[in-house]
Structure 1
Amino acid sequence: MSDIKRLDKGPRMSQAVIHGDLVWLAGQVGTPSESVAAQTKEILSKIDSLLARAGTDKSRLLQTTIWMASMDDFAEMNAVWDAWVDPENPPARASGESALATPDYKVEIIVVAALK
């Protein structure tokens, strides 16, 4: 049985959980009140960092869930996403509109990745 490793563990949640050959990231958000593009760039940078700490990278993404406060911002978020995602290894992806933890958050991204 594999050990479970947790990164940036807090009393409520961990930012990443590693088990077996997979890593699950908590929902990542950007700086409140920034633009959709700025929040998305910050989120993707956080994802890169957490994946690196777990021992993998965005080329190993399996699934991504993107929550947006308003689907009116979908194109703005996608412009940043498209510049970041590995075009040879895009993950399965779902996107939807949801009320996020605070109205100042415009985007939240959750990923699952395979380890190298």
Structure 2
Amino acid sequence: MSIQRFHTGPRMSQMVIHKDTVYLAGQVANDPTQDVEMQTRQILGQIDALLAEAGTDKSKLLSATIYLADIATFGAMNKAWDAWVDQANAPARATVEAKLAAPQYVVEIQVTAAK
């Protein structure tokens, strides 16, 4: 059984590939000074880059879990998401309000994709 781990630190890997499935860790914005829409755009760019590194893309997304620090920002997050997602191949998705790892982060996104 082959398992590949990428961008691994002492606590976690940013991406794990097992067989033909790509698992991404929860992604947060590199510049958390931005609002939820801009943080979402940053995160989606990071997801694109990781999926490309794995040899896949957003059209192969299987699932997404989105964590919002404030569910009232759901519409602003969706503005960025809707502009990015491949609407012909939208993944199964859940969005929940959650306290994130640090107060400057207002959104975190975790996805799983097929290769």
Taking only the aligned residue pairs, the percentage that are identical comes to 58
Residue equivalent to 1:81 = 81
Residue equivalent to 1:34 = 34
Shift, 1:32, TM fit: 1.8
Residue equivalent to 1:49 = 49
Shift, 1:24, TM fit: 0.3
Specify the SS of the correspondent of 1:50.
Answer: helix
Between the aligned partners of 2:38 and 2:94, the Cα distance in structure 1 is 21
Q: Deviations over 1:49-90 (max 9, x none)?
A: 000001100000000000000001000000000000001100
**Which segments of 5 or more consecutive residues in structure 2 lack a partner in the other structure?**
none
Shift, 1:38, TM fit: 0.9
Between the aligned partners of 2:6 and 2:59, the Cα distance in structure 1 is 20
Residue equivalent to 2:10 = 11
Specify the SS of the correspondent of 2:65.
Answer: strand
Shift, 1:33, TM fit: 2.5
Once the two structures are overlaid, the 10-residue window that deviates more, 43-52 or 31-40, is 31-40
Residue equivalent to 1:112 = 112
Specify the SS of the correspondent of 1:29.
Answer: coil
* TM-score normalised by structure 1 residue count: 0.96
Structure 1 consecutive aligned stretches of length 4 or more whose deviation exceeds 4 Å: none
**Which segments of 5 or more consecutive residues in structure 1 lack a partner in the other structure?**
none
Residue-pair matches, total: 114
